[in-house]
Structure 1
Amino acid sequence: MKKVVIGLYGTTLDGGLGKKRWQRWRPTLSICQHEDFLIDRFDLLVPDEFTKAADILIEDMKTVAPETEIQVKPMNFTDPWDFEEVFSTLLRFAQEYPFNEDREEYLLHITTGTHVAQICLFLLTEARYFPANLIQTSPPRGKKAKGAGSYKIIDLDLSKYDLIASRFAKEQEEGTAFLKSGIDTANARFNAMIDQIEKVAIRSKSPILLMGATGAGKSHLAKRIFELKKLRRQVTGRFVEVNCATLRGDAAMSTLFGHVRGAFTGAIGDRPGLLRAAHQGVLFLDEVGELGSDEQAMLLRALEEKSFMPVGSDREVHSDFQLIAGTNRDLWEKVHEGKFREDLLARMNLWTYKLPSLRERPEDIEPNLLYELEKFARTHGRTTTFNKEAYTRFLNFATGPDGQWNANFRDLNASVTRMATLSGGSRINEPIVAEEVERLRAQWERPRLENKVLARYFTKDELEEIDQFDQAQLAKVLEVCEQSRSLAEAGRVLFAASRARKTSSNDSDRLRKYLMKFNLQASDIVGRKYFRPQ
């Protein structure tokens, strides 16, 4: 393998005229003066205005190392202290350089040039634009010392340094444990996701989109991401959280983007808004799919330009925040329906993670159960545990097919709170567990029955657009219609009480209009169970 050194001509340190120049230490020349370090080629990067001065250095290099081929390559900076210009110029040079790693070994000399150039060379080498190791030269020690001085080769592959690699691994392990609140989770899919989120949290300020069912832990994870960034000094501002489903009408714009005094009736003073409150921090918009079209447009601009107009103002305000968005909806489906901006989703979709439900992570129920007990102890100032039989019974139920956990961690938290409270400070026993199991079964059974009949007429995404209140009522209506021979018969059952108070009624029409609200045709429903028992 040929050894090739690439380095900048040092306009100050490498220069010199007359015989006295040999008494000075010159960093580029010194590389060629080591008998144990032979160089096949030296590519010297020289500004046009220093070509003649560099010729003297080149002749001296040929004198001490006649076997080294020296190639001069132009390298011009209008302002050698302009970081952007220096970086882009060196990057262009690296991209055009004919590297041949099969035949040549490259060393990049970083002793010469401005500090800006040295930093840029380091970054470009670390990013492998220069497939090289670094070489650093130093003058001989002592005022009267002479000679070539010393050199050191630096390999930027940190994986080769055991101590550094173990330190980074430990820091990453601590970061992932922090995001999981110290819970020793075992689900491989969840752990892999958290590992990646840890890297993204400390390396990126781009938006993060957290998807998952209600209670899957989106809000908790968003808060932990913020706290991890704060520990690593990535943010200095606040964590600002808002559930977008609670924002309605004109108040939504004011809450998010603020308003000025007199912007509307009742605006008796200025209001900064949540985006400004999140400056230099993290803004968590839960249920972001519930934002109105105007709020979506304003949010997009705030993300792209870091500025926006408060309501009623003619002046822009600035806020540099990181967005974490949460949703239990399919935002791509909402884009298809015209209810969510495609460009906003594209802006938020750089880092997207779907949190698995608790039911999809049965191996993680036990460590989360222990975590909830510890949290109860911290909150209430008393430690509560299970006896052995009660613990086994509850865990078998929780991880078995009967453990629905429809509200995910909210269900688990409520369950532990109830059992710990009923234990009265002593251990949770079997009767307490038995009562709790029956309570959870009853709590989960009714929605399952309702969802069974609704699932025959609606997709999962369509059901998410219907309020829980309407779902419960609609499930009963569909059940009665399916079991009736005609729409009139179904109407008589459903409106029996109100019919008794009327002299005349049109139950069929009333029922038909109700079903049409949900885009349902009575002919597709009535008698379904009567003719096809299920």
Structure 2
Amino acid sequence: MNKRTVCISLVGTVMDKAKFHQRWDRWRPTVSLCQQEDLIIDRLELVHTESDRALTGEIVADIATISPETTTQTHEIEWIDPWDFEEVYVKLHDFCQNYPFNLDEEDYLVHLTTGTHVAQICWFLLTESRHLPAKIIQTAPPKRSSGDSIGNYSIIDLDLSRYDKLAARYKQDATEGLTFLKSGIETKNDAFNAMIEEIERVAIRSREPILLTGPTGAGKSQLAKRIFSLKKTRNQIEGNFVAVNCGTLRGDSAISTLFGHVKGAFTGAANERTGLLKAADKGLLFLDEIGELGLDEQAMLLHAVEEKHFRRLGADDEISSDFQLIAGTNRDLLKEVAEGRFRGDLLARINLWTYQMPGLAQRREDIAPNLEYELKRFEQSNGRKVRFNKEAHTSYLKFGQAADASWDGNFRDLNASVIRMATLASEQRINQTNVEQEIKRLQQSWKTSNSTTGLLEKLMPAEALQEIDLFDRLQLESVLKICQSCRTLSEAGRRLYGASRLKKTSSNDSDRLKKYLSRFDLDWSAVKHNS
């Protein structure tokens, strides 16, 4: 049994109207629906407003003349403002909800040519969401030279190939965005890939601050640049990418660098300075190591992020800057807040989208694709195409993916490693000898970085280290060296206080060591965790 064809259409207040004696010489889209030789409309559902009752009656009469097989039914819907999207959508949605669709016996079309643009968009959304189980039909006027008034039509099924192609194109755009954020590297780490997928969605949908955490060398700066470039290619950002490492900023210089200053604001301020926040207007500001900022700069930054304006050093009036902020840090900012070194209100403001960047040691399966990426970078920078031989490649990956490869500098270590091997390679091939020499360099480098001096830097903020006298620092380094070599707090205490404990009738070496470490805000678990 052939199904009946039912078409739902809004009466076109302008396009469907014509003077009575001219109406058959003029193209009228709703009437045209029923004039097509290869399209039979069994029933036409005409939606109209009260003010269009007379026009609707004329259309019904004309359709009865040209297409007696078509039954017409009218539906009156009244809206206060036909350009109010919410009102139009709600009323058309209600129409769909109350309409007695019979999918077993009828096929449905929705006419998308008449009505306001708002109504056309609402019909499309209701059809795409299947609230209106129909195909879209569009009518078009005839060419001027054709001499007829019927025009033509096209039918679009959102469930079929055309829509699939649009969906495929959308998926392709999303995939290109993900690949772009990963610098074209085919990464294999599932957790990292999932994180990048979410960052891609956030980057193109939001201008709120993004916080990138993770160890030095994990790729925070590179990712921030890629986010900016992605937004730029999508025409979502107009200004520049402005980046600064907050660890290089101190005192008045920090405020001046970020917020600018007026002439004479302080000794040596011979000229005014714009500042990086203003330079990032309509662009993206990347503050790496944001945890290094002082509390005064943090307060000023919070005001600038929330209010989009701030005051330059020494100025009376505020200036505006509308930038998106990406912040990076290798610190635990929650701990910094608890210890009074970072403002809780600023953290709350930049903590909306927070992503922990894993180090290379947590992404060992990504060493291979990143190795190829670094070789391509070397080729672009040096004009020499260098590759591994098979034995050398296998040997390097076995070393790099082993559990004892610490990759302290993360991707910076890998980049430096590739540059060294590629530079020393003979005949543009990295061989086994090159790899063995490089493995020794990396092992020595990691051994040095894991010294007690390195441990101090891991355990204590830079400001705290600067406040320790050299005498106390050397003593502390020696104590930590003993702690590293001991399995328990008690064992370390016995070694450190071996002489004095012999002179006492009773002694708690563990408690003495614990109190010594607490003088520097250190505890045993943190020392052993970072050893």
TM-score, scaled relative to structure 2 = 0.75
Q: Give, in angstroms, the shift of residue 408 of structure 1.
A: 0.5
2:239 to 237, 252, 265: 237
Distance in 1 between residues matched to 2:129 and 2:460, nearest whole Å: 46
> How big is the alpha-carbon RMSD for the aligned residues of Structure 1 and Structure 2?
4.5
Q: Give, in angstroms, the shift of residue 278 of structure 1.
A: 1.8
Q: Give, in angstroms, the shift of residue 13 of structure 1.
A: 1.4
Secondary structure of the residue aligned to 1:99 is helix
Structure 2 residue aligned with 1:93 = 91
Structure 2 residue aligned with 1:112 = 114
Structure 1 residue aligned with 2:373 = 371
1:214 to 213, 216, 228: 216
- Does the aligned pair in 2 maintain the 1:288–1:327 contact within 8 Å? yes
1:12 to 9, 14, 18: 14
Sort the Cα spacing of 1:475 and 1:234 in 2 relative to 1 into closer, same or farther, 3 A: same
Sort the Cα spacing of 1:10 and 1:464 in 2 relative to 1 into closer, same or farther, 3 A: farther
Q: Give, in angstroms, the shift of residue 231 of structure 1.
A: 3.6
Identify which range, 62-71 or 216-225, moves more after superposition. Answer: 62-71
- Does the aligned pair in 1 maintain the 2:48–2:77 contact within 8 Å? yes
Sort the Cα spacing of 1:211 and 1:143 in 2 relative to 1 into closer, same or farther, 3 A: same
Secondary structure of the residue aligned to 1:152 is strand
Q: Give, in angstroms, the shift of residue 333 of structure 1.
A: 4.6
Instruction: List aligned pairs for 1:245-284, cutoff 5 A.
Output: 245-284=247-286
- Does the aligned pair in 1 maintain the 2:277–2:321 contact within 8 Å? yes
Identify which range, 411-420 or 287-296, moves more after superposition. Answer: 287-296
Structure 2 residue aligned with 1:67 = 71
Listed one character per residue, the Cα deviations across residues 125-155 of structure 1 (whole Å, up to 9, x for unaligned) are: 6688877654322234446744643332334
- Does the aligned pair in 2 maintain the 1:278–1:321 contact within 8 Å? yes
1:44 to 47, 50, 55: 47
Secondary structure of the residue aligned to 2:23 is helix
Distance in 1 between residues matched to 2:163 and 2:244, nearest whole Å: 45
Distance in 2 between residues matched to 1:266 and 1:128, nearest whole Å: 69
Distance in 1 between residues matched to 2:354 and 2:157, nearest whole Å: 35
2:183 to 181, 184, 206: 181
Distance in 1 between residues matched to 2:499 and 2:94, nearest whole Å: 79
Instruction: List aligned pairs for 1:283-432, cutoff 5 A.
Output: 283-334=285-336, 340=342, 344-423=346-425, 427-432=429-434
- Does the aligned pair in 2 maintain the 1:5–1:109 contact within 8 Å? yes
Q: Give, in angstroms, the shift of residue 286 of structure 1.
A: 1.5
Distance in 2 between residues matched to 1:427 and 1:324, nearest whole Å: 40
**What letter matches 1:42 in structure 2?**
E
Listed one character per residue, the Cα deviations across residues 149-182 of structure 1 (whole Å, up to 9, x for unaligned) are: 3332334568754554554444444433333223
Listed one character per residue, the Cα deviations across residues 156-210 of structure 1 (whole Å, up to 9, x for unaligned) are: 5687545545544444444333332233322233233334434444454443332
Listed one character per residue, the Cα deviations across residues 327-375 of structure 1 (whole Å, up to 9, x for unaligned) are: 2234445455565555544554454433222112222112222322332
Structure 2 residue aligned with 1:499 = none
Sort the Cα spacing of 1:26 and 1:181 in 2 relative to 1 into closer, same or farther, 3 A: same
Instruction: List aligned pairs for 1:494-533, cutoff 5 A.
Output: 515-519=517-521
TM-score, scaled relative to structure 1 = 0.75
Distance in 2 between residues matched to 1:163 and 1:37, nearest whole Å: 29
Secondary structure of the residue aligned to 1:182 is coil
Secondary structure of the residue aligned to 1:184 is coil
Distance in 1 between residues matched to 2:321 and 2:420, nearest whole Å: 43
Sort the Cα spacing of 1:21 and 1:13 in 2 relative to 1 into closer, same or farther, 3 A: same
Secondary structure of the residue aligned to 1:323 is strand
Secondary structure of the residue aligned to 2:97 is coil
- Does the aligned pair in 2 maintain the 1:4–1:43 contact within 8 Å? no
Distance in 2 between residues matched to 1:250 and 1:130, nearest whole Å: 64
Listed one character per residue, the Cα deviations across residues 298-340 of structure 1 (whole Å, up to 9, x for unaligned) are: 4444444443333344444333333322222344454555655
Sort the Cα spacing of 1:452 and 1:290 in 2 relative to 1 into closer, same or farther, 3 A: closer
Distance in 1 between residues matched to 2:127 and 2:474, nearest whole Å: 63
**What letter matches 1:224 in structure 2?**
R
Listed one character per residue, the Cα deviations across residues 11-63 of structure 1 (whole Å, up to 9, x for unaligned) are: 221223534334432223333555834365635243x6555545544555677
Secondary structure of the residue aligned to 2:193 is helix
Structure 2, unpaired ranges of 5+:
484-490, 502-511
Q: Give, in angstroms, the shift of residue 404 of structure 1.
A: 0.9
Distance in 2 between residues matched to 1:98 and 1:384, nearest whole Å: 65
